[in-house]
Amino acid sequence: MARQLMTRLQPQRWPIPLDRLPVGTVLVGGAVRDGLLNRLPEHPDLDMVVPADALGQVRKLSQEFGGSCVVLDRDRDMARLVLGRWTIDLARQEGDALTADLMRRDYRINAIALTLTTEPKLVDPSGGIPDLRDQRITAIHEQNLLDDPLRLLRAIRLSSELSMTIDQGTLEMIARHRHQLPKVAPERIQAELLKLVQANNADQAIHLLHSLKLIAPWSSNQPQKTFNARALTAEEQQLALPLARLTQLLSDQGVNDLRFSRKQIQRCLRLRAWWKRDQQQSASTLSERERLKLHEELEEDLPAFTLAWPVERQNEWLRRWRDQDDMLFHPCTPLNGRTLQAELGLRPGPRLGELIQHLCLERAFGRIRSQDEAIQCARAWMNKPL
C-alpha cells in the first residue's frame, strides 16, 4: 500500500527532490489521505513533518530552489515554501516520536504518515486507514478538537468533499463544543466555508451545519431554498452554486463578520436582495429601469439568481444570458462619456451620468441599434426641458 501510494504521489514531479529534504522527513495529512483514496489533484499540497528546525529548513530550501518562504507559526516552528503552483509545508515534530505527533491531530483519516525512504512505510497509530475504507470521519480525541476549535467545522467540510459520514460520537463532540467556534479567527472559518460550499455534497453538509447549530452566530434565518442546477452547464454550476449556497447559509452580518472580501460581500448582499425582491414581485414584471438595474447588478451572477426557479423560466433566462449580444442581459452604454462630451459639449457631472444611464436603457430594450442612433437619442434627451 505504501509503495502504491508513493507511485500515485509521483515525487519525481515535486519541485524539491526527495534527497534534498531533511533526513527523517515524513509526509502527513491531506496528500496521504487523498493519495490513499486515489483522488489527488495535479498539484497536491505537501504537508511534511521534520525532526527539527522547520523554519530554517524552509529558508534553506528557498535559497536553493527559489520560491518564497512564509512563516506559518513561529512558536510551533511551522513554515511554507511556495514554488509556482506547489506549496510545501514543513512543521517540527511535536512530541518525542512521530506517533505522538500524529495522535495530536484532528481526525484519524488525517493522522496517517508516509515515510519518504527507499522502502516507504505507512504509519497509522489511530486507525485512519480502516476509516478511509469505511468512509468514516472519526475524531482522535475530544481534547484535540478543543485545542483548535476550527476542527469542529473541518469535519463537516471534509464530509462534503470526501462524501463520508461523520462518526456519531464525533458528531456529539461537535455539538457539545459548538460554542467554541467563535474563538477561531474569522478568516480561518471563512476559508473552511468557501471550500465547503464548492464541494459536491455541500447541500447535505449545510443541512448538517444547521442541525448542529455550528455556525449559528453567522447564519441566515431565511428558509432554505431548493436549488435546481440541472439547466446549468458544469462551468455555470461552479460559479453559481457556491455563491447561492453561501448567500443562503450566511446572513448579511455574517459575511461581514467572517471578513469575506469586499467583492464577495457585495455579491452575496445583491443576490439576497434580488431574491427577496423576486419573492415580492416577479423579476419578469419589473419596470424597465428596475429590470436594467437587476441585470447591471447581477450580470455575472444571474445563473445563481435563477437556481430556485421552475425549469421553464430558468431556461428562458439562461438562454438569453448565454447570448453575449443580448443587451438587456449584458447591458452597456452605446457611447462613453468622452464621446458624449465631444459630441454634445457636455461636462463631467451628474447630468452626463444620467444621460449615459438613459442610453444604456434605450439600448437594453432595443431602441438604439447603432452609434448614430445613440447620438440622435442623446441629442433628443438633451433638448428635453429639465
pLDDT in tens, the chain (386 residues): 999 999 999 999 999 999 999 999 999 999 999 999 999 999 999 999 999 999 999 999 999 999 999 999 999 999 999 999 999 999 999 999 999 999 999 999 999 999 999 999 999 999 999 999 999 999 999 999 999 999 999 999 999 999 999 999 999 999 999 999 999 999 999 999 999 999 999 999 999 999 999 999 999 988 888 999 999 999 999 999 999 999 999 999 999 999 999 999 999 999 999 999 999 999 989 999 999 999 999 999 999 999 999 999 999 999 999 999 999 999 999 999 999 999 998 899 999 999 999 999 999 999 999 999 999 999 999 998 76
Q: Give pLDDT, residue 307.
A: 96
CATH of 136-219, one of 1.10.645.10, 3.20.20.60, 3.40.50.720, 1.10.110.30: 1.10.110.30
CA atoms within 13 A on the CB side of 224: 13
The cell for 262 is: 469586499
Partner residues linked to 80 by β-bridges: 70, 89
CB atoms near residue 198 (< 10 Å): 16
Q: Give pLDDT, residue 304.
A: 98
CA neighbor of 183 nearest in space, from 210, 142, 146: 146
Q: Give pLDDT, residue 290.
A: 97
Domain boundaries, the chain: 1-134, 136-219, 262-318, 337-383
Q: What is the pTM of this model?
A: 0.92
Ranges of H-type helices in 234-349: 234-249, 252-257, 262-280, 288-298, 302-305, 311-321, 337-344
CA distance 51 to 190: 32
Describe the chain by its helix, strand, coil percentages, rounded to 5. 55, 10, 35
Q: Give pLDDT, residue 385.
A: 79
The cell for 159 is: 464530509
Sheet holding 78-83, edge to edge: 68-73, 78-83, 86-92, 46-50, 26-28, 113-115, 122-123
CA neighbor of 25 nearest in space, from 86, 114, 121: 114
Q: Give pLDDT, residue 224.
A: 83
CA distance 4 to 109: 18
| Helix, strand or coil, per DSSP, at residue 87 | strand
CB 133 within 8 A of CB 25: no
Q: What is the largest CA-CA distance in the chain?
A: 87
Q: Report the topology of domain 1-134.
A: Beta Polymerase; domain 2 (3.30.460)
Q: Give pLDDT, residue 113.
A: 98
